[in-house]
Structure 1
Amino acid sequence: MDKIICPKKQYTYEQLCQDSLALMDRYPTLIRVKTIGYSVDQRKILAIQLGTGIDNILLSGAHHAREWLTTPLLMDMMETYAHAAETRQSFRGFEVKTMLEQCCFWFIPMVNPDGVTLVQLGASQFEHQEDLLRWNNYSEDFTAWKANIRGVDLNRQYPVDWEAIKSDPGEPSLANFKGVTPLSEPESKAIYQFIQSKKIKIAAAYHSSGEEIFWKYKSSAAFAIKSEQIAMQLAELTGYKLIYPGDDPSGGGLTDWFISHYRQPSFTIEIAPYIGPNPVPLHHYDQIYQANKYVPFLLAVNRDAQD
Structure 2
Amino acid sequence: MDVQVRGGDSLWSYSNTFNVPLPLIINSNPTINPSMLSIGQTIQIPGYRLQRYTILQGDSFYKIATRNRISIDGLFLVNPGVNPNALQIGQTVNIPKRVTTAIINPRQNYDSQILAGDLEALGQLYPFMRRRTIGNSVMGKELIEVQIGNGEKVVHWNGAFHAYEWITTSVIMEFINTYLLALTNNETIRGRIMFPFYDQVTLSIVPMVDPDGVDLVLNGPPDGSFGEEALKINGGSTDFSGWKANIRGVDLNNQFPAKWEIEAERKPKQPAPRDFPGYAPLTEPESVAMAELAGELNFEKMLAFHTQGEVIYWGFENLEPPRAREIVNEFSRVSGYEPIRYVDSFAGYKDWFIQDFREPGFTVELGQGINPLPITQFDEIYQKTLGIFLASMYM
> TM over 0.5: same fold?
yes
Q: CA RMSD in A?
A: 1.5
- Following superposition, the deviation at residue 224 of structure 1 comes to 5.1
Matches of 1:106 and 1:126, distance apart in 2: 34
Match of 2:262 among 148, 152, 164: 164
Matches of 2:210 and 2:169, distance apart in 1: 10
Identity across matched positions, percent: 36
SS in 1 for 2:282: coil
Q: 1:227 matched to which residue of 2?
A: 324
State how many pairs are aligned.
295
Answer whether contact 1:204 1:266 (CA < 8 A) is retained.
Answer: yes
Taking a change above 3 Å as real, the CA distance of residues 139 and 12 of structure 1, as seen in their structure-2 partners, is same
Matches of 2:227 and 2:154, distance apart in 1: 40
Match of 1:47 among 125, 141, 145: 145
Matches of 1:116 and 1:299, distance apart in 2: 26
Q: 1:197 matched to which residue of 2?
A: 296
Matches of 1:297 and 1:101, distance apart in 2: 14
Write out aligned runs for 1:234-273 (5 A): 234-246=331-343, 249-273=344-368
Matches of 2:335 and 2:355, distance apart in 1: 25
Check if 1:78 corresponds to 2:176. yes
Taking CA–CA contacts closer than 8 Å with sequence separation of 6 or more, which of the two structures ends up with the larger relative contact order?
1
Match of 1:209 among 308, 317, 331: 308
Match of 1:281 among 338, 352, 374: 374
- TM-score normalised over the length of structure 2: 0.72
Matches of 2:372 and 2:107, distance apart in 1: 13
Taking a change above 3 Å as real, the CA distance of residues 126 and 52 of structure 1, as seen in their structure-2 partners, is farther
- TM-score normalised over the length of structure 1: 0.92
SS in 2 for 1:128: helix
- Following superposition, the deviation at residue 240 of structure 1 comes to 1.4
Matches of 1:70 and 1:125, distance apart in 2: 26
Match of 2:194 among 96, 99, 113: 96
SS in 2 for 1:264: coil
Answer whether contact 1:161 1:250 (CA < 8 A) is retained.
Answer: no
Q: 2:92 matched to which residue of 1?
A: none
Q: Which residues of structure 2 form unaligned runs of 5+?
A: 1-98
Higher mean C-alpha deviation, range 197-206 or range 83-92: 83-92
- Structure 1 residues 133-172: Cα deviation after superposition (integer angstroms, max 9, x where no partner): 2211221100110000110000001111111116311000
Q: 1:9 matched to which residue of 2?
A: 108
Q: Which amino acid aligns with 1:101?
A: D
